[in-house]
Amino acid sequence: MNFNITTESISNIKSDLEIIIVHDKDLKHTFVQDKKLLKKAGFTGTQDEVCHLIEKNRLYVGTETLKGVGVRSAAASALRSLLGKKAYKTVKIATYLSHPRCSASLRAMVEGLVLGSYTFNNYKSTKVKSPVKNVEISLDGYNTHELSMETAARAVHNGEISANATNFTRDIVNTTPDDCYPEIMANIAQELAENSTLKCKVLKPKALKKEKMETLLAVARASRHKPRVIHLAHKPKNAKAVVTLVGKGLTYDSGGLSLKPADYMVTMKSDKSGGSAVLGIMKAISEMNLPIEVHGFIGAVENMIGGDAYKPDDVLTAKNGKTIEIRNTDAEGRLVLADVLCYAQQEVKADYLFDFATLTGACVVGVGHYTSGVMGNADEPKDLVVKMATQAGELATKLDFNRHLKKTIKSEIADVCNISNTRYGGAITAGQFLSEFIDEEHKEKWAHIDIAGPAFVEHAWAENPHGASGAGVRMMIRLIEKLVRTAQSH
């Protein structure tokens, strides 16, 4: 999809279709040319409501707010309604600004257009794609707010990169486990590095053994697909800060010997969403060439069953020397993350450390399908994640640690148990388990982001399609951009 920004009046731009975002349910705005037809069609302008007046070549879509969260979702709904309609190759749209000289709504609109055009057709014999190839954006907007061409171009550029990185992540998550296993994830990372300024290092089993990553190796050992730990690095000159990202890349999770019920095993290709998000974030950071040093670490593993599978009652030793009693082999993601977190801290001394994981069903129970749970030892990194998630159009909330729940992962025979002895507070106890593998230097710099809810949902919602959403990508891009602005202001 190509974007062109112009100062031409929207009425003077030639296109196959005009998209009009309506933010007044009474349809009083002068730019709504088809009030009678819209009322006749029952269009009321509610959020994401679409009305396509084919004979007029105009598509109306409603939003409850001109802030990014509303405009992004509305733009996505408009593009989603055009999927498979081959007549509309060029569309035009005006700018909608919520505040003077604020480009956030424009960026959100571009993100929505790209995200709404997403399809995953790899396994369909008949492909349905977005017909839209070119988007003409008029800066002659519908309100008195104005943007300079430079500010608008930057908003469109960053919005396009951010949304494309999200769609890139969606593709990886949606790919089936037979087509995306640890070696393939490593290949994707290496290809990213070959086509960018990123540096890539991949650790194979012998190197993992040498690094004493025994908990990760235990999870992987019943699979025919050997594990990989991936390290991507963006290292600009005169970096303003250093950020480390760690992603859980379970390319498939059967539950191991603690086998999942059949209906819970379906969609477990999505257990690589954390690692896939790290790949998407690194892609975007490289393309934006942000002056922040960013390292992405991914533990790519498949958790299967077999005669060599690790077992409940095993005691494993993590990279930092802590011993772990295994009471459930389906609590495997935290074992992989334990070793990768230790390795990441060994390799990089960061100002911020964030991990992404579809870690617990308990997080989905607690906060729903659409919200990420944010945990950690200190408020500053957690608050930063929640704030930037909101700006990016993602939902995130803090889940605070407490000393009483931490007692529930105590083991009588090892340093820590991989599951809690209570069925309650499972997202938090999983986060507290991970805190056992955060060293003193990073203790106050770390936040764990449980994306189990929003990463993969089997229906469309807001700007997200059925399946993978790319959760975590846009929020972390915004967070790193925020670190750049903060550094430049000092």
Bin 387: left if φ > 0, else alpha if -120 < ψ < 50, else beta.
alpha
Residues 6+ apart with CB under 8 A from 128: 83, 84, 119, 121
| Annotated active-site residue in 204, 212, 260, 322 | 260
Q: Which regions of 54-130 does DSSP assign to beta strands (E)? A: 58-62, 90-94
Using alpha carbons, list the distances in angstroms from residue 307 to 206, 268, 310: 21, 22, 9
Any bridge partners for residue 4, and if so which?
Answer: 136
Any bridge partners for residue 9, and if so which?
Answer: none
Cα distance between residue 332 and residue 250, in whole Å: 9
Q: Would you state the structure tokens that stand for residue 106, as one six-digit string? A: 């424009």
Q: Would you state the structure tokens that stand for residue 110, as one six-digit string? A: 């571009």
* CA-wise closest residue to 71 among 120, 99, 36, 108: 108
Burial class (CB in 10 A: 0-12, 13-18, 19+), 212: middle
Active site residue 25: no
Quickly list DSSP for 472-490: THHHHHHHHHHHHHHHHH-
Cα distance between residue 429 and residue 402, in whole Å: 9
Cα distance between residue 81 and residue 52, in whole Å: 9
Cα distance between residue 187 and residue 148, in whole Å: 41
Residues 6+ apart with CB under 8 A from 254: 260, 265, 268, 303, 304, 305
| Annotated active-site residue in 228, 269, 334, 406 | 334
Q: Would you state the structure tokens that stand for residue 98, as one six-digit string? A: 């919520």
The answer to whether 268 touches 218, Cβ cutoff 8 Å, is no
Active site residue 334: yes
Identity of the residue numbered 284: A
Q: How many residues does the structure list for the chain?
A: 490
Burial class (CB in 10 A: 0-12, 13-18, 19+), 50: middle
Which positions are annotated as active-site residues?
260, 334
